[in-house]
């Protein structure tokens, strides 16, 4: 391969590193109305009255909207393919507010000062209601969070909204309870993962305007332009034809922008006023009025025989979806299906779950999407099982590992078509120096060095649902335009998709033009989430390019007057043993006179979602007197199939591991006793700095995925899953305490050490 599997620079790199104005707020016109939202100070309340008279008189205020001024059609903000599994439990503005931060009034004015002043002058009278803040108290509580009559579900998700149950379900294979009885050792523990914030550097940003056709144009930092089009049209109760969505460069997403967070507010202001409007979330709002990772409590029962053959795995997950159900019914599934599948050899499996409403900020999508939470639980339990068996945790895993060709009972019955996890483990074991370092070495009176391990899997797109279409055009002079609907959010998908096109078309990268997404121009794509872009959109690129080559050969055969079956294309020319036409010439001829401008379209979806795999190994130094953890080294060994761009894939792994380290050690969205988020800034919610991460080392042990483009699977999400369980394991190996509740703070470690004395 000439272009694929090469570390090519991102197409947009130089404009990003030179600070060009390419993000939403950079390109918004100066005359946009500034849109801000007055937010609820209460976790649960009914609005009795809103007095806006004084605010309306502030010079420069153009529009103030309360729940009485907006369409009352419920929708979900979750960016999912229609019909969405998430309940329709939202209004743009509602008579009830269900968490601290829920929008109450939309204010738009000509400048920030006027809007801020107006916000201060609005008086809202609330009937304050008692909230549910603890997810374990949600089911069958006398307080009901969603009692609206028009609450709507698209299909059965095991919902019972009167019980605050957003979704529930179960899966079973074999008889876990019977099997556990006959097991030699059983681990039965509960693990608690917390809400985290995605914390992408660019906050939610949108601007809107009406074009000459009276359509609302939405320029927004999103992972899901096509879902935004549908959801905004629904929320505003206008036809989809009246909405156009454009995605410029995005300053990161990590799932946060797989939900419609900022788009609706300026859109409705533009609809009401006819004027351009913009809403740039500040960091406080980005923390406390968006969506977080789902907090989960996961009970694992795990049984094995004397020899360490895992017989039974049972998982019960209680997931907190917060005030609204965005992604609630879907994230929870991954906590079971994308964890226990690793131990596919077991004879019985059970997975039950409940997803509950509480009066905290809605949870949503965040890299890993439930698999991360599940990985902490199950991988921790596996490590605890190894202790009980007195067995090396690596040996235990390798003994029970799934293998290529397996039918994966707990993974929708799919057959595993590519897997190199065993070698990932071997490689990591060697690199970290497991044999010398496991379980720990004492460095001094107060310092211990130890190692820990975890393995994980994710998926590649949502099977049978995610869909990507691509168009490739042959332009005059023989260069190509690649039109995609997938959204590069900094990951470099524009570049890797162009690499695939260049590989298919046997040309250089500079012969391919890729554009950002515009729903008026770009072909449909469900969006960049669920680790789908490389695998799903990539395959669509391959299909489209092959079609285009066929078309070029047909046209060349007409010009050369030869049988098309005799012709071949080598990237430069189309030829047979006698005749030849260069690509340039062909392209020029096709756009003159009775030419035929060539455009090839293809769509792709996949009936399987082949899992990428990763083994994570960590070495930490633990201060046994303060509980402080220093990460020394983290080794991530990944099987993502063929790496389309090894350089960008490596950065994905490094970035994912560091996010995982933050989640493991200190990231935690915390609420006060009245439901107010206590850490809604980078001062109080710390994400790792470059001083906090030790050294990250990345290796690839690639398999070849036959259903993926050039053998590729996915990489975006699998990389965040191993740090939590691996670090928890290292802590156990250092000081003998199991921290089963994230984050693994120094405080928890030290107090556990003291308590275990």
Binders of other proteins among residues 244 to 263 (CB under 8 A) are 249-252, 254
As a whole number of angstroms, the distance between CA 513 and CA 496 comes to: 12
Q: Counting contacts by CB under 8 A, is residue 658 touching other proteins?
A: yes
Distance from the Cα of residue 115 to its chain's centroid: 33
Q: Counting contacts by CB under 8 A, is residue 674 touching other proteins?
A: no
Task: Pick the binder of other proteins from 146, 628, 729, 740 (CB under 8 A).
Answer: 628
Cβ of residue 347: shortest distance to other proteins, in angstroms?
39
Q: Counting contacts by CB under 8 A, is residue 631 touching other proteins?
A: no
> What is the SS3 assignment for 616-674?
EEEEEEEECCCCCEEEEEEEEEEECECCCCHHHHHHHHHHHHHHHHHHHHCCCCCECCC
From 19-27, 174-182, 385-393, 573-581, span contacting other proteins (CB under 8 A): 19-27
As a whole number of angstroms, the distance between CA 216 and CA 565 comes to: 49
- Of all helices (H) and strands (E), which one includes residue 583? helix 583-590
From 3-11, 92-100, 477-485, 541-549, span contacting other proteins (CB under 8 A): 3-11
Question: Which residues in 687-746 contact other proteins (CB under 8 A)?
Answer: 687-693, 695-696, 745-746
Report in angstroms the alpha-carbon separations of 723 from 121, 486, 659: 47, 29, 9
Closest CB to other proteins among residues 656, 711 = 656
Q: Counting contacts by CB under 8 A, is residue 654 touching other proteins?
A: yes
From 41-49, 133-141, 195-203, 554-562, span contacting other proteins (CB under 8 A): 195-203
From 308-316, 414-422, 658-666, 732-740, span contacting other proteins (CB under 8 A): 658-666
Closest listed residue to residue 234, CA positions, set 90, 52, 19 = 90
Task: Pick the binder of other proteins from 278, 427, 650, 729 (CB under 8 A).
Answer: 650
Cβ of residue 531: shortest distance to other proteins, in angstroms?
16
Cβ of residue 207: shortest distance to other proteins, in angstroms?
14
Task: Pick the binder of other proteins from 490, 516, 538, 616 (CB under 8 A).
Answer: 490
Task: Pick the binder of other proteins from 154, 576, 679, 752 (CB under 8 A).
Answer: 679
As a whole number of angstroms, the distance between CA 172 and CA 170 comes to: 7
Task: Pick the binder of other proteins from 63, 200, 224, 542 (CB under 8 A).
Answer: 200
Closest CB to other proteins among residues 72, 741 = 741
Cβ of residue 44: shortest distance to other proteins, in angstroms?
23
> In degrees, to the nearest 5, what angle opens at C-alpha 544 toward C-alphas 541 and 545?
85
Written as one string, the DSSP assignment of 162-226 is GGTEEEEEEEEES-HHHHHHT-SEEEEEEEEE-------SSPPEEEEEE-TTSPEEEEE--S-HH
Which tokens is 62 given?
A: 């153009």
From 140-148, 152-160, 210-218, 659-667, span contacting other proteins (CB under 8 A): 659-667
Contact between residue 298 and residue 309 where contact means Cβ atoms under 8 Å apart? no
Question: Which residues in 22-51 contact other proteins (CB under 8 A)?
Answer: 22-23, 26
Cβ of residue 374: shortest distance to other proteins, in angstroms?
23
Cβ of residue 686: shortest distance to other proteins, in angstroms?
5
Closest listed residue to residue 716, CA positions, set 533, 526, 497 = 533
Q: Counting contacts by CB under 8 A, is residue 21 touching other proteins?
A: yes
Cβ of residue 543: shortest distance to other proteins, in angstroms?
27
Written as one string, the DSSP assignment of 329-351 is HHHHHHHHHHHHGGGTT-SEEEE
Question: Which residues in 105-124 contact other proteins (CB under 8 A)?
Answer: 112-113, 116
Residue 690, Cβ neighbours under 10 Å: how many?
Answer: 6
Cβ of residue 602: shortest distance to other proteins, in angstroms?
27
The three-class DSSP label of residue 569 is: strand
As a whole number of angstroms, the distance between CA 144 and CA 357 comes to: 9
Report in angstroms the alpha-carbon separations of 247 from 22, 327, 337, 523, 699: 10, 22, 33, 13, 33
Parallel/antiparallel/unpaired status of strands 695-700 and 629-639: parallel
As a whole number of angstroms, the distance between CA 254 and CA 364 comes to: 11
Tell me the number of residues near other proteins by CB under 8 A: 77
Q: Counting contacts by CB under 8 A, is residue 6 touching other proteins?
A: no
Task: Pick the binder of other proteins from 202, 621, 701, 717 (CB under 8 A).
Answer: 202
Task: Pick the binder of other proteins from 20, 152, 240, 558 (CB under 8 A).
Answer: 20
Task: Pick the binder of other proteins from 423, 647, 676, 741 (CB under 8 A).
Answer: 647
Distance from the Cα of residue 738 to its chain's centroid: 29
Task: Pick the binder of other proteins from 4, 5, 10, 293 (CB under 8 A).
Answer: 10
Parallel/antiparallel/unpaired status of strands 517-518 and 295-304: unpaired
Q: Counting contacts by CB under 8 A, is residue 18 touching other proteins?
A: yes
627: left (phi over 0), alpha (psi -120 to 50) or beta: left
**DSSP assigned state of 104:** E
Contact between residue 483 and residue 472 where contact means Cβ atoms under 8 Å apart? yes
The alpha-carbon radius of gyration of the chain (Å, integer) is: 27
Task: Put the strands of the sheet holding 447-457 in their side by side order.
Answer: 440-442, 447-457, 613-623, 629-639, 695-700
Closest CB to other proteins among residues 5, 417 = 5
Q: Counting contacts by CB under 8 A, is residue 686 touching other proteins?
A: yes
Q: Counting contacts by CB under 8 A, is residue 501 touching other proteins?
A: no
Closest CB to other proteins among residues 22, 144 = 22
Cβ of residue 27: shortest distance to other proteins, in angstroms?
9
Question: Which residues in 735-754 contact other proteins (CB under 8 A)?
Answer: 745-747, 750-751, 754
- x/- track of binding to other proteins for residues 282-321 (CB under 8 A): xxx-------------------------------------
Task: Pick the binder of other proteins from 402, 648, 728, 735 (CB under 8 A).
Answer: 648
């Amino acid at each position: 391969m000439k272009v694929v599997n090469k570390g090519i620079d991102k197409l947009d790199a130089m404009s990003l590193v030179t600070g060009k104005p390419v993000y939403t707020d950079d390109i918004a016109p100066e005359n946009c109305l500034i849109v801000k939202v007055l937010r609820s100070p209460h976790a649960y309340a009914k609005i009795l009255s809103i007095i806006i008279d004084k605010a309306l008189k502030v010079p420069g205020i153009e529009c103030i909207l309360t729940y009485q001024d907006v369409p009352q059609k419920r929708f979900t903000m979750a960016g999912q393919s229609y019909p969405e599994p998430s309940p329709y439990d939202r209004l743009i503005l509602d008579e009830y507010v269900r968490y601290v931060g829920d929008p109450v009034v939309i204010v738009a004015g000509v400048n920030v000062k006027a809007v801020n002043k107006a916000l201060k002058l609005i008086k809202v009278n609330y009937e304050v209601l008692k909230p549910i803040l603890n997810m374990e108290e949600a089911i069958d509580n006398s307080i009901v969070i969603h009692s609206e009559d028009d609450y709507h579900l698209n299909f059965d998700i095991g919902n019972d909204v009167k019980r605050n149950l957003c979704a529930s379900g179960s899966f079973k294979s074999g008889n876990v309870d019977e099997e556990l009885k006959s097991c030699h050792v059983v681990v039965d523990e509960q693990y608690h993962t917390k809400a985290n914030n995605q914390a992408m550097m660019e906050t939610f940003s949108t601007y809107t305007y009406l074009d000459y056709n009276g359509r609302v144009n939405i320029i927004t930092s999103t992972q899901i332009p096509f879902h935004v089009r549908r959801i905004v049209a629904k929320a505003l109760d206008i036809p989809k034809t009246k909405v156009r969505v454009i995605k410029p460069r995005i300053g990161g997403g990590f799932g946060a922008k797989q939900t419609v967070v900022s788009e609706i507010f300026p859109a409705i202001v533009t609809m009401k006023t006819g004027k351009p409007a913009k809403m740039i979330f500040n960091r406080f709002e980005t923390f406390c009025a968006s969506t977080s990772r789902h907090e989960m409590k996961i009970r694992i029962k795990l049984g094995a025989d004397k020899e360490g053959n895992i017989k039974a795995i049972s998982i019960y997950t209680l997931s907190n979806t917060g005030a609204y159900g965005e992604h609630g019914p879907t994230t929870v599934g991954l906590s079971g299906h994308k964890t226990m599948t690793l131990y596919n050899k077991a004879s019985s499996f059970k997975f039950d779950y409940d997803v509950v409403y509480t009066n905290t900020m809605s949870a949503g999508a965040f890299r890993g999407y439930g698999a991360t939470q599940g990985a902490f639980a199950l991988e921790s339990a596996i490590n605890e099982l190894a202790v009980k068996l007195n067995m090396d945790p690596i040996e235990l895993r390798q003994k029970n590992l799934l293998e290529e060709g397996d039918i994966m009972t707990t993974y929708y019955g799919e057959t595993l078509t590519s897997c190199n996890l065993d070698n990932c483990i071997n490689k990591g074991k060697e690199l970290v120096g497991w044999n010398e370092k496991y379980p720990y070495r004492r460095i001094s009176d107060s310092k211990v060095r130890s190692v820990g391990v975890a393995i994980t899997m994710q998926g590649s797109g949502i099977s049978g649902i995610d869909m990507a279409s691509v168009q490739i055009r042959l332009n005059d002079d023989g260069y190509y335009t690649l039109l995609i609907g997938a959204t590069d959010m900094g990951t470099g998908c524009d570049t890797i998709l162009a690499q695939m096109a260049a590989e298919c078309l046997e040309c250089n990268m500079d012969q391919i033009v890729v554009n950002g997404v515009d729903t008026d121009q770009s072909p449909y794509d469900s969006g960049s989430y669920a680790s789908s872009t490389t695998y799903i959109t990539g395959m669509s690129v391959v299909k489209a390019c092959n079609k285009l080559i066929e078309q070029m050969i047909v046209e060349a055969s007409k010009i050369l007057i030869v049988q098309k079956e005799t012709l071949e294309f080598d990237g430069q020319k189309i030829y047979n043993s006698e005749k030849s036409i260069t690509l340039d010439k062909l392209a020029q001829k096709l756009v003159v006179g009775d030419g035929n401008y060539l455009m090839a379209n293809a769509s792709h979806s996949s009936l399987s979602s082949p899992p990428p795999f990763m083994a994570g190994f960590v070495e930490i130094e633990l201060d046994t007197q303060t509980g402080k953890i220093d990460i020394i080294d983290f080794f991530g060994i990944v099987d993502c199939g063929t790496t389309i761009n090894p350089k960008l894939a490596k950065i994905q792994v490094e970035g994912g591991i560091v996010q995982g380290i933050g989640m493991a050690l200190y990231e935690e969205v915390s609420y006060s006793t009245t439901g107010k988020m206590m850490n809604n800034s980078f001062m109080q919610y710390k994400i790792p700095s470059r001083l906090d991460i030790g050294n990250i080392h990345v290796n690839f042990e690639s398999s070849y995925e036959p259903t993926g483009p050039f053998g590729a699977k996915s990489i975006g999400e699998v990389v965040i899953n191993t740090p939590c369980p691996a670090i928890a394991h290292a802590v156990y190996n250092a000081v003998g305490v199991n921290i089963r509740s994230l984050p693994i703070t120094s405080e928890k470690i030290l107090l556990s050490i003291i308590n275990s004395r």
